Amino acid sequence: MLKRLLLVLMFGSVLVWASAYAGHHGGVSPRKEGILLVAFGSSLPEAQVAFENIDRQVKAAFADIPVRWAYTSHIIRKKMAARGHQLDSVAMALTKMMEDGFTHVAVQSLHTIRGEEFDNLAATARAFSRMPEGIRCITMGAPLLSTQDDLEKVSAAILATIPPARKEQEAVVLMGHGSHHPANAFYAALMFNVQRHDSHVFVGTVEGAPEIDVIQTLLAEKKIKKVYLMPFMSVAGDHARNDMAGPDEDSWKSLLTRAGFQCEAVLKGTAEYDNFVAIWVAHLQEAYQRLSKKHGHDYK
Ligand code: CO
């Protein structure tokens, strides 16, 4: 009898201790969920429509969840601040969310590939989730191109957003950003995937591979006469307007025109099309679901 009473007392004190421990580690603060959208950013006013479109669609999909933004480019944040627009870095946005009592945050990368920008974002989020009394759970939503399934979905979005005026024998050349990061291989993988559906769609990059010379050779091999140039970046910013369609002699448009191709540029970022935004939103939904299920931290 005494033994049993002792056991009950011991077990009871363990429970009291456990709940006190949980309380000390943030168990007292009520659950508050939030979303943080993270993009590279653009200083061009005409490129902001892309961000506005994503913002609208995310808020429609997550009606009651506060949505905040952060921009990873230091240069762009500086430029915008000089014009009176204060944009948050990822660390700044997460600090504010921590101070505002958010306990569960789904961070969605609006990048195209899982490159350096994404790695840095994930590292920052990881650091924030380890802070004492900080945000209890942070999950990461994958960028546009992360899996084989994404390659298929992105290919479908590309095919659906090609200008209707384009004829079958005409080519579409997409300009991706490109990177020295191993994830750069996704651009060539995307070209392979999309060409299984349409052999005249090409994917090149400004700062990685495949380079425009390679694309030009492929265009010549297929005896193509007309090329539609489209940015494969979330916003039609500086690269799209200058490196792709600009008047400089080394722009893709100038280069291909000199080589005898007739060129027509479309200045619209992927984030301006609902077809692409739906893929980012689906990734956010996955991240948000992991938030609901898990109490711990989760990085993918
Ligand atoms: Co760049």
Domains and CATH numbers, the chain: 29-144+275-299 (3.40.50.1400), 148-269 (3.40.50.1400)
- Residue 135 CA to ligand 1 centre (angstroms): 32
45-90 pLDDT tens trace? 888 999 999 999 999 999 999 999 999 999 999 999 999 999 999 9
Tell me the pTM: 0.88
| 13 pLDDT higher than 80 | no
124-180 pLDDT tens trace? 999 999 998 889 999 999 999 999 999 999 999 999 999 999 999 999 999 999 999
Give the pLDDT of residue 239: 96
User: Which residue, among 9, 25, 14, 8, has the nearest Cα to 103 in the 3D structure?
Assistant: 25
Question: Residue 10 contacts by C-beta under 8 Å, 6 or more apart in sequence?
Answer: none
pLDDT band at 293 (very low <50, low <70, confident <90, very high): confident
- Residue 177 CA to ligand 1 centre (angstroms): 6
Give the pLDDT of residue 60: 97
Could you confirm whether 177 is annotated as catalytic?
Answer: yes
What share of the chain has pLDDT > 70, as a percent?
A: 88
Backbone angles phi, psi at 180, to 5 degrees: -85, -5
- State the catalytic residue, choosing from 177, 200, 239, 283: 177
